[in-house]
Amino acid sequence: MYIRENLRWRVIWKYAWPSLLFFTIYDIVVCYLYGPLGFRSLDIPWQPVGTLGVAVAFYVGFKNNGSYDRFWEGRKLWGGIVNYSRTWAIEALEFVTSVVDAPDVQASPASAQELTIRHRRLVYRQIAWINAVRLNLRRQPELWDEAVAPFLEPAESEQMRGLSNPPTHILRAQAAEMRVLRESRGLLNDFQHVTMMRVIEELFNLQGGCERIKNTPFPRQYAYFSAVFVWLFALLLPLGLIGEFEKMGPSHFWLTVPFSVLVSWVYYTIEWVGHHSEDPFENEMNDVPMTAICRNIEIDLRQLLGETNMPSKIEPVNDILY
């Protein structure tokens, strides 16, 4: 996620120069053919170009809407992951207490030490889950050792990493621990048990929502033609303008170049912006900053556990927060 209020010009330039260069060369070629080489039939009336411009603006606007909605839905899902991570942690801490209140279970009350271990395991596994979801979305299994493993017990970590969808199995491990707490250890009563299972249901919904956006690109038929139409418009534009500039005075047709480049660039940029916002989980400039969110959750949850030795927040790199 780009975080400066205004984009730096060098960022804009970095993405803009190839298209600007192309438009400039193309428009010069058109003018050269029209003027010095006298291909006067390159001059076409403005009407089809203008109508095309309006229709294309509509279509690209439609695509931009869709792209933005995808980004915002992705961000909302990660917002939900923040919220339910907190809810999970607080329920783990305040439901799993020394009192044995599961019906029909005979067991001794939990010691403070046992509780510390159990709380830590339940909360750390949640931190493991958020990181595992992130790695899954960004296709970065190589970061497992650094981002997921520290929050799981070693055996669990090894078992999970080989499965096709590790986050699903991490949640299943949470559910299995709930079962033990309810049925064998007796520290969760039935109300608390189903309440926490409902949180797991929500976490599945959030995880699945992210996977849906990741696995289903913006429909290619919509997305692709948007670029095709913008290029068609940019190619027709100097043909429609050159005659109009010609009317302004001799050699004025050369002014077609800067103004045609300018208008083409605006259309191109509108399309480009939408195109690069389609997919919010690609580890690029316009992404949901999942690494930073995961770190924030980690800090929040570890503070709830009473830990004080916190990792630092993620800082933006070149104005981009990942």
Shorter beta-carbon distance to its own copies: residue 143 or 316? 316
Q: How far is the CB of 82 from its own copies (least distance, A)?
A: 5
Q: Is 309 helix (H, G, I), strand (E, B) or coil?
A: coil
Name 148's Cβ contacts closer than 8 Å, sequence gap at least 6.
128, 131, 132, 135, 157, 160, 161, 166
List the structure tokens of 301: 């949850």
Structural element, H or E, at residue 206: helix 190-215
Provide the 8-state DSSP code for 182: I
Which residue, 17 or 222, is less far from its own copies as judged by CB? 222
Rounded least distance, CB 269 to its own copies, Å: 6
What is the sign of the dihedral through the CA atoms of 273, 5, 298 and 174? Answer: negative
Q: How far apart are CA 297 and CA 203, in angstroms?
A: 14
Least separation in angstroms between CB 154 and its own copies: 20
Q: Which is nearer to its own copies, 122 or 178 (CB)?
A: 178
Q: Give the phi and the psi of residue 2 in degrees, each rounded to 5.
A: -70, 130
Q: Specify the residue, 66 or 153, whose C-beta has the smaller distance to its own copies.
A: 66
Q: Are 245 and 253 a contacting pair, CB within 8 Å?
A: yes
* Choice between 35 and 211, CB closer to its own copies: 211
Instruction: Give Cα 52 to chain centroid, integer Å.
Output: 32
Rounded to a whole number of angstroms, the minimum distance from the CB of residue 132 to its own copies is 14
* Min dist. Cβ of residue 141 to its own copies (A): 16
